[in-house]
């Protein structure tokens, strides 16, 4: 369940984060304003508050059930993914924006000079270079996301932390169980960091 949460949330937050980053550098003031407001609001709210709100607020008060009104487990999972995506997209956006700032202005000027539109310039020239320079900070976000999936326990999603709590309640070996779960997370996150670190070096754009 932890892995599933991580994968879905990672993909979602990459997409939403990229969109937000595109908004924050766009020439339209309204979009820039929205992007900036989103990032500054969302990244300053604790994830626990967001996840609990998604369950108690979105689902219970506003009736947002994400296509699973009767299946509480599925609904919890989807709400957790939604919250994780919304939260981490803000961090992906900021990482990416710092990457966009490393791409020399001349690259975008040259792209516009051959007649590419703003969207094409961003998609074909600026973002591919920006992504390569922020692979390592993105790995950070991804590792944080993997660990943050445990917060989904707050709304009863059966991920690792929930499982650990149940086991600790039933067994005597509390330290051993905690160590086992901690080790499980290291197994998940260490390769992520190593692989992306290696990839970051390999794909770095030479200037």
Residue numbers at the binding site for other proteins (CB under 8 A): 27, 104, 106-107, 109-117, 120, 124-125, 128-129, 132, 205-207
Closest distance of CB 189 from other proteins, Å: 28
Please answer whether residues 128 and 108 qualify as being in contact, where contact means their C-beta atoms are separated by less than 8 angstroms. Answer: no
Closer residue to other proteins (CB): 67 or 106: 106
* Smaller CB separation from other proteins, 37 or 203: 203
Q: Of the two residues 51 and 108, which places its CB atom closer to other proteins in the complex?
A: 108
* Residue (48 or 107) nearer to other proteins, CB: 107
- Taking the C-alpha atoms of residue 49 and residue 86, their distance in angstroms, rounded to an integer, is 12
Which parts of the chain fold into alpha helices (H)? 2-25, 29-42, 47-53, 72-102, 105-113, 118-120, 127-133, 135-148, 160-170, 174-203
Q: What is the DSSP letter of 134?
A: T
Rounded CA-CA distance 17/144 in Å is: 15
Minimum CB distance to other proteins smaller for 84 or for 125: 125
Q: Shortest Cβ distance from residue 91 to other proteins (Å)?
A: 24
Q: How far is the CB of 54 from other proteins (least distance, A)?
A: 38
Question: Least Å distance between CB 102 and other proteins?
Answer: 11
Residue in 24, 11, 156, 201 with CA at minimum distance from that of residue 95 = 24
In residues, how long is the chain? 207
Q: Shortest approach of other proteins to residue 120 CB, angstroms?
A: 6
């Amino acid at each position: 369940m932890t892995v599933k949460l991580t994968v879905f949330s990672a993909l979602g937050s990459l997409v939403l984060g990229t969109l937000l980053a595109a908004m924050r550098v766009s020439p339209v003031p309204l979009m820039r304003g929205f992007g900036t407001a989103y990032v500054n609001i969302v990244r300053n709210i604790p994830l626990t508050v967001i996840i609990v709100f998604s369950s108690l607020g979105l689902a219970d008060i506003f009736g947002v059930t994400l296509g699973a009104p009767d299946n509480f487990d599925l609904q919890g999972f989807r709400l957790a993914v939604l919250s994780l995506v919304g939260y981490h997209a803000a961090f992906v956006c900021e990482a990416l924006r710092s990457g966009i700032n490393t791409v020399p202005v001349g690259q975008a000027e040259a792209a516009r000079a051959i007649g590419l539109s703003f969207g094409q310039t961003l998609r074909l020239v600026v973002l591919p270079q920006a992504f390569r320079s922020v692979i390592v900070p993105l790995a950070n976000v991804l590792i944080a996301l993997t660990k943050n999936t445990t917060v989904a326990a707050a709304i009863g999603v059966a991920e690792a932390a929930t499982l650990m709590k149940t086991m600790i309640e039933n067994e005597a070996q509390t330290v051993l169980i905690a160590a086992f779960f901690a080790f499980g997370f290291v197994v998940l996150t260490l390769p992520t960091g190593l692989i992306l670190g290696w990839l970051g070096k390999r794909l770095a754009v030479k200037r």
